[in-house]
Structure 1
Amino acid sequence: MQVEVRGRRARRWVAGGLIAFGALFSGIGLVLAGVSVSYLTDGERAPGTVVALEWEEHGGGSRKGRTGDEPVAHPVVAFTPAGGSPTRFREFTGSNPPAYEVGERVEVLYRPDSPEDARIDGFAALWLLPLIFGGIGLVIVGVGTGIALVARRRP
């Protein structure tokens, strides 16, 4: 299937669509960054220990040998919130090779009203997703803006 973009009107639609899609991605990145900032400003800190690594398969049984299909390790962290009972949580971000080892001490950020809603105080856990979504969004907005500028100059 071949797609041709003809005329100023079509270029405007493509540019507008790219800018809107990129703005959506950037907005998601900003929301995720806001969540991370709320953990840093409103969250409590406690020492924790990585008690296990949960391996998760990616690719859903797709072809072997493809890159990116290796399993990733999510650390499971145990900590005791102030005035609470021992709590465990599984970190959302995983990696291969594992970013943490079993027995490793980590700093935990948690919400006082729901300690099970916690994160490791580290770059990947707090900033990786906001940077990915925000960065992709900005690139797409830039491409859309470039197309809009070119469309404006062409007849």
Structure 2
Amino acid sequence: MNEDVMFPRIFGSIFTGIGSIFAVIGIIFGLNTHSFVATAISAQGTIIDLVLRSSTDSEGYSSSVYHPVVKFTDRSGEPTVFEANAGSNPPAFSKGQQVEVLYNPQKPNSAMINSRFELWLLPIIFTSLGLTFTLIGGIVLIKSFPSLRSFK
């Protein structure tokens, strides 16, 4: 097999494989989120704080995001406080703001702000990247087989 055919087949296979893994992870995240939303209980919460989280990458570039801290009362009357997984800069919420919270009735600490960003960002990113990589890799892979290109 010559190098003109070998590189596209390896490239296409790697891109398709990585893309498939990302797409499956995104779908699993999406199914987990869907299951959580279907079984979660809704409550009214209040943003009580904004926690600034900073990180520095390997090149020394620093970034900071604000994670809202939410307090709500579960259906048993217990006050619960949690820090949202998703953060943003500028902050998406302000102190004192009322938000809808979804929480697991068995584990009230397992709560999320009911927003598209918080609930669906990871499933959308992973699935989109996965499908894009799979499509690019698949096209390159198919084009590397001359018998498939001439198929009509």
Q: Could you state the TM-score of these two structures normalised by the residue count of structure 1?
A: 0.87
Give, in whole Å, the separation in 1 of the partners of 2:58 and 2:24: 33
Give runs of ≥4 in structure 1 deviating > 2 Å: 7-14, 60-63
Q: CA deviation at 1:60?
A: 5.0
Unaligned runs of 5+ in 1: none
**1:20: how far off?**
1.1
Unaligned ranges ≥5, structure 2: 148-152
- Give SS of 1:14's match: helix
Matches within 5 A, 1:14-53: 14-53=11-50
Alignment of 1:36-75 (within 5 A): 36-59=33-56, 62-63=59-60, 66=61, 69-75=62-68
Deviating more after overlay: 85-94 vs 35-44: 35-44
Describe the SS at the equivalent of 1:71: strand
Bigger proportion of residues as strand: 2
- 1:40-99: CA deviation from partner (whole Å, max 9, x where unpaired): 101111000000001000225853xx5xx3310000000011014100111000000000
One-letter amino acid of the counterpart of residue 135, structure 2: G
Aligned partner of 2:78 in structure 1 is 85
Equivalent residue pairs, number: 147
The Cα RMSD (Å) is 2.0
Question: Which residue of structure 1 lines up, in the alignment, with residue 133 of structure 2?
Answer: 140
2:150 aligned partner? none
Tell me how far apart the structure 1 counterparts of residues 108 and 139 of structure 2 sit (CA, whole Å): 46
TM-score, normalising length: structure 2: 0.89
Structure-2 change in CA distance of 1:143 and 1:6 (3 Å): same
Aligned identity (percent) is: 32
- Partner residue in 2 for 1:97: 90
